[in-house]
Structure 1
Amino acid sequence: MNKIKLLFSCFLIILGIITIIKKPINLGLDLQGGMHLILQAKPTNNQPLTRDSVLGSIEVIRNRIDSLGLTEPSIRIKGKDQISIELPGIKNPDEAKAMIGDTALLEFVIAEWAPPGIENLPEEKQRILIGEKGKLSYMEDNNASKQSIKRPIILKEIALTGGDLSKASPGTDQFGKPIVNLEFTPEGGTKFYQATAKSINKPLAILLDKRIISAPNVNQAISGGKAQISGDFTPTEVSNLIIKLNAGALPIPVEIISEKQIGPTLGKDSIEKSKLAFIAGIILVGIYMVFMYKGPGLLASISLISYIILSFALFKLIDATLTLPGIAGFILTMGMAVDANVIIFERIKEEIKKNTSLKASILNGFKHAYVTILDANITTLIAAIVLFWLGTGTIKGFAITLSIGIIISMFSAITITQALLLSISPLSQFKKGKS
């Protein structure tokens, strides 16, 4: 049984080393810098400002940011009507701001081209042409000389919205230009068919955030639940538009009211010095353990290194973000891991004084130490869970790091240390250790 524990521990450690080498760790805003934004939510006539609408906006923003490949952004409510966003390691702030702040409200509107010069007509004649429910707008287009012109268009009836969209994906038209392919839900497909049936020989305007991005003329009713958005798009614009459409529209409009570029709290030199201090600390702890407990102290040092490897590997596997509070939590659990080994060794020494066999002393020592270690760690784990539940931002990061460290430290102390003690022969060193 002990051999299985030892082999399993070795397997996990090797796997942990491979993970650490292959997978980079995510650093938080305080360690690598980034951008901090504060958004102001704005109610509309159709959507009052509520906590649910703000939470819905946070969910949409999170989906958009995840599509940008950013790791562990911090997005939370600030007050009643603001959203705080931290983006560590952001490389293109302007793209992120455009992705976050746009509402991305997609609308297909039944329309018709207005006669040129309609804006110069008297208001009464304009109203007759536009109709009671119509709205005059302008579609930017290029003429034969590639000059931008504005064509008047009358927007009449919203036929369907982004809520009827199932999926948006990239594509190219017959000329190789980038376009956006749309797939509608079954209900959306029916609405689109009805809209195109009403718009034969007329334009069907496609609006994004109330701005016309395309207004193709419809030749026939279109079934099948699919459509395209074409225009003078760049591949990047198509990609960003797809991200917005797939993430959905923000329930309420938001405005960026504060923007800060944040540098790392610790400079590169300070981080390098911190690494050296960390290594020096491990070495000093190892020397102390060997001095106090001789051979078993060396095994405890090996167990501590195993704890560090497994903890960092788990951080990387779950894509946790390492912040300064997180490092504090990790150091705290390192102390708990050392403390667990000290408790175990003292219990074993007490058993040895009873003149029991070495193996029995080890097993009884672990048995008696187990309850103390479990009580201390479970108490701290409960506190970490409460911090994660009630805390925000960096407090949650501290709680996650603390929780992972507690679980790994218990495993390394109870499983790895025990397997090493039972497997290595010169365990009589306990008798030479200081009482």
Structure 2
Amino acid sequence: MLQIDTWKRVLIWALVVAGLVLAAPNLFYSRVESHNDAVKAIEKSGSTAELEAQAGQWPEWLPSDLVNLGLDLRGGAHLLAEVRVADVYQSRMEALWPDVRDALRGARDEVGTIRLQSSEPGTLRVRISKPDGMARALELVRALAQPVVSLTGAGATDLEVSGEGSDIVVQLSEAERQATDERTMRQSLEIIRRRIDEVGTREPTIQRQGSDRILIQVPGIGSATELKDIIGTTAQLTFQPVVSRTTNPNENAGSGNEVLPSLDEDGVYYVLEQAPVVTGEELVDSQPSFDQNGRPAVTFRFNPSGARKFGDYTAENIGSPFAIVLDDEVISAPVIQSHIAGGSGIITGNFSVEESTNLAVLLRAGALPAGLDFLEERTIGPELGQDSIDAGKLATGVAFAAVLIFMALTYGLFGLFANVALILNIGLIMGILSAIGATLTLPGIAGIVLTVGMAVDANVLIFERIREELKSARGPARAIELGYERALSAIIDANLTTIITAVILYVIGSGPVRGFAITLGLGIVTSVFTAIWVTRLLIVIWFERRRPRTLEI
């Protein structure tokens, strides 16, 4: 019999209504966007009458998620940067020289005098005056090696030490180079993201491309030059004394103090002395490591000026916490266990390898770890973005109208049912895009236009199959039922291949290609849902009320 269970009917309409409700804010884009901006500003800096009025433009109880407009629709700046990861190898070798020198000085009777030699980038070359002591020198320098902190480099050490005549040659091991490259890219991404977020731009795209490149797209910014200036600024990293810990963000800090939130502990704030002990400008290195018990930890090291100030402070404040502050957020507040001389220290805690790596990234986020070469840059003006939106609206409107007219003329009443499903399909696509926070680009609009044309394919297969069943002298109810059942396999096969194509485009592609793949994939899913379930439900409701003896499709 031609029927749909009540619970299925309720579920179908619930999904349709939910999708339309989620899509509704996009009909009032400017108003909802102003509301969202005001809410964020209130959370960040407190409420004002102007912000409250702006936030009141949209009811709080309604969804406020929007489909984000991409760079080609809003206008903005695009950069493709290449990270000079080899710079980090050279910095590591330069930082290692004092440790090598100090290690060899203790065996001067065996190795003789020690001289630093010029060498190729990423290599440390040290000459000893007594070649007979090379074995002892290599032993001492190899003792400086540390385990590689990465999941792929387990069991390996970070240094390769060899002898060439009277020279000791030190390089990073291959496992350490891979781990360093990964940390460098993650750190660069983190720094760039924090700096761009600081200027309040909407939905920037900051993602890694390949092994050493970063794609940066920021809608709404004036020019690529302005974007490069933002990336080039220095983030604020400080080490400050802790006065107290509180859960009250409005705590009276007292003169010369400030209240800052904890990055990892929700609802926790620290009262800190405003004058820092040392700043991020004096931090020269921070690496994930292991403590004496083999647990993940984080090491850090200052330059001579910072080392002196930090050493004096730790000697006078054993047992007291100090805060590591990045961009006005406390990322860690360890307790000083002992006098930390030499400007090096270690932060221990209940870390995993991943967490210690992330903390090291945050500690070093005050400065880019390596230089950036900008391989590609372009600026898209807002006028061009508006032209793209208008062109996209026109293309979608023409395609939409043509399909509606074709279906109505070709299939009559059943064509109108398909048209209702098509309208609901577009609403569902926009609702899902809003819910997942997707960014709509010009290729994404192309995906929606393509979906409009493909959305009726399933209905065409079903209606043509119903026509065939009617020719077999079956009743209307049985013809409709068999039409849906026998067209289902063809519908699934046709759309499954398109879904596979969309997945491949998303996995392999990047940027605009991914935008097209997302809207195409979502459009296929929603069009199949509306064709198989929504149109069938509409036809069933109509058939139950009219009970026609014949069908004209």
CA distance in 1, matches of 2:462, 2:263: 63
| Residue 332 of structure 1, CA deviation | 1.6
Residue 60, structure 1, aligned to residue 190, structure 2: yes
Do the aligned partners of residues 430 and 379 (structure 1) sit closer, same or farther apart at CA in structure 2, a change above 3 Å counting? farther
CA distance in 2, matches of 1:204, 1:280: 62
CA distance in 2, matches of 1:411, 1:316: 19
Do the aligned partners of residues 422 and 61 (structure 1) sit closer, same or farther apart at CA in structure 2, a change above 3 Å counting? farther
CA contact (8 A) 1:24 1:316 kept: yes
Residue 27, structure 1, aligned to residue 69, structure 2: yes
| Aligned amino acid, residue 30 of structure 1 | D
Residue 372, structure 1, aligned to residue 490, structure 2: yes
Residue 39, structure 1, aligned to residue 81, structure 2: yes
| Aligned amino acid, residue 22 of structure 2 | T
| Residue 63 of structure 1, CA deviation | 5.3
| Residue 15 of structure 1, CA deviation | 2.1
CA distance in 2, matches of 1:390, 1:261: 26
TM-score (normalised: structure 2):
0.54
Query: Who is 1:398 aligned against?
Result: 516
Do the aligned partners of residues 32 and 210 (structure 1) sit closer, same or farther apart at CA in structure 2, a change above 3 Å counting? same
Q: CA RMSD in A?
A: 4.1
| Residue 16 of structure 1, CA deviation | 2.2
| Residue 352 of structure 1, CA deviation | 1.4
Residue 9, structure 1, aligned to residue 41, structure 2: no
CA distance in 2, matches of 1:3, 1:183: 49
CA contact (8 A) 2:201 2:220 kept: no
State which drifts further: 10-19 or 247-256.
Answer: 247-256
| Residue 46 of structure 1, CA deviation | 1.2
1:21-420 alignment runs, 5 A limit: 21-22=24-25, 23-42=65-84, 43-44=87-88, 45-46=91-92, 51-57=181-187, 59-61=189-191, 64=194, 65=196, 70-71=202-203, 73-77=205-209, 81-90=212-221, 100-101=231-232, 173-175=253-255, 178=258, 180=260, 205-210=277-282, 218=313, 220-223=316-319, 225-227=321-323, 240-242=327-329, 248=362, 249-250=364-365, 252-255=369-372, 257=374, 260-264=378-382, 266-268=384-386, 271-272=389-390, 274-420=392-538
Measured against aligned partners, the alpha-carbon deviations of 1:291-346 in whole angstroms (never above 9, x if no partner) come to: 11111111000010111111110001001111111111122222221111111100
CA contact (8 A) 1:182 1:228 kept: no
Query: Who is 1:122 aligned against?
Result: none
CA contact (8 A) 2:75 2:385 kept: no
Do the aligned partners of residues 56 and 359 (structure 1) sit closer, same or farther apart at CA in structure 2, a change above 3 Å counting? same
| Residue 93 of structure 1, CA deviation | 8.2
CA distance in 1, matches of 2:477, 2:509: 45
- Partner-residue secondary structure (3-state), 1:424: helix
| Aligned amino acid, residue 420 of structure 2 | I
Query: Who is 1:144 aligned against?
Result: none
Which consecutive unaligned segments of at least 5 residues does structure 1 have?
A: 110-168, 186-202, 230-237
Measured against aligned partners, the alpha-carbon deviations of 1:14-44 in whole angstroms (never above 9, x if no partner) come to: 2222222233221111111112233342323
| Residue 273 of structure 1, CA deviation | 5.3
| Residue 408 of structure 1, CA deviation | 0.9
| Residue 372 of structure 1, CA deviation | 0.6
Query: Who is 1:188 aligned against?
Result: none
State which drifts further: 392-401 or 418-427.
Answer: 418-427
State which drifts further: 35-44 or 49-58.
Answer: 49-58
CA contact (8 A) 1:180 1:228 kept: no
- Partner-residue secondary structure (3-state), 1:432: coil
| Aligned amino acid, residue 187 of structure 2 | S
Do the aligned partners of residues 266 and 376 (structure 1) sit closer, same or farther apart at CA in structure 2, a change above 3 Å counting? farther
- Partner-residue secondary structure (3-state), 2:530: helix
| Residue 287 of structure 1, CA deviation | 2.1
Do the aligned partners of residues 32 and 208 (structure 1) sit closer, same or farther apart at CA in structure 2, a change above 3 Å counting? same
| Residue 392 of structure 1, CA deviation | 1.3
CA distance in 2, matches of 1:420, 1:183: 52
| Residue 387 of structure 1, CA deviation | 1.2
CA contact (8 A) 1:294 1:429 kept: no
- Partner-residue secondary structure (3-state), 2:92: coil
Measured against aligned partners, the alpha-carbon deviations of 1:208-243 in whole angstroms (never above 9, x if no partner) come to: 1437899698494153534376xxxxxxxx8x4549
- Partner-residue secondary structure (3-state), 2:214: strand
The share of aligned pairs that are identical, in percent, is 33
Do the aligned partners of residues 62 and 338 (structure 1) sit closer, same or farther apart at CA in structure 2, a change above 3 Å counting? farther
TM-score (normalised: structure 1):
0.67
| Residue 4 of structure 1, CA deviation | 3.4
Do the aligned partners of residues 76 and 60 (structure 1) sit closer, same or farther apart at CA in structure 2, a change above 3 Å counting? same
CA contact (8 A) 2:422 2:530 kept: yes
CA distance in 1, matches of 2:455, 2:470: 23
| Residue 252 of structure 1, CA deviation | 2.6
Do the aligned partners of residues 184 and 209 (structure 1) sit closer, same or farther apart at CA in structure 2, a change above 3 Å counting? farther
| Aligned amino acid, residue 361 of structure 1 | A
| Residue 374 of structure 1, CA deviation | 0.4
| Residue 180 of structure 1, CA deviation | 4.9
CA distance in 2, matches of 1:420, 1:305: 14
| Residue 358 of structure 1, CA deviation | 1.7
Do the aligned partners of residues 6 and 431 (structure 1) sit closer, same or farther apart at CA in structure 2, a change above 3 Å counting? same
CA distance in 2, matches of 1:287, 1:313: 25
